[in-house]
Amino acid sequence: MPIYEYRCTECDKEFEMMQKFSEDPLKECIYCGGPVEKLISLSSFHLKGSGWYLTDYARKKDDKKAPESCPSDKKKTCGGC
């Protein structure tokens, strides 16, 4: 269930409530009974698995080439400067 944040317009207290998506938003403060407004807060997410960057977007090791600015005698050992 998502957690929603509210702020009371009378007592200015902020609080969180776990509610189902299907539930209506709260109308009154749980502390004083005054009217509340729903806050928009930052959310977070967690990428799980072996790594989306490595599997989807990274260059393959065979595609690495030394840049043109490398001295020609060091292209094999510098790894791309």
User: What pLDDT shows up at residue 44?
Assistant: 75
At 78, which helix (H) or strand (E)? Answer: helix 75-78
Mean pLDDT of 7-22: 95
Full-model pTM:
0.52
Three-state SS letters, 59-77: CCHHHCCCCCCCCCCCHHH
Is residue 59's pLDDT more than 80? no
Is residue 67's pLDDT more than 80? no
Query: Residue 53 in 3-state DSSP?
Result: helix
* pLDDT category of residue 63 using cuts at 50, 70 and 90: low
Q: What is the residue type of 20? A: K
Domains contained in the chain, CATH given: 1-42 (2.20.28)
Mean pLDDT of 48-54: 62
Tokens of 27: 């109308």
Query: 80: alpha, beta or left, given left = phi > 0 and alpha = psi -120 to 50?
Result: left
- Identify whether the C-beta of residue 31 lies closer than 8 Å to the C-beta of residue 15: yes
More confident residue, 6 or 55: 6
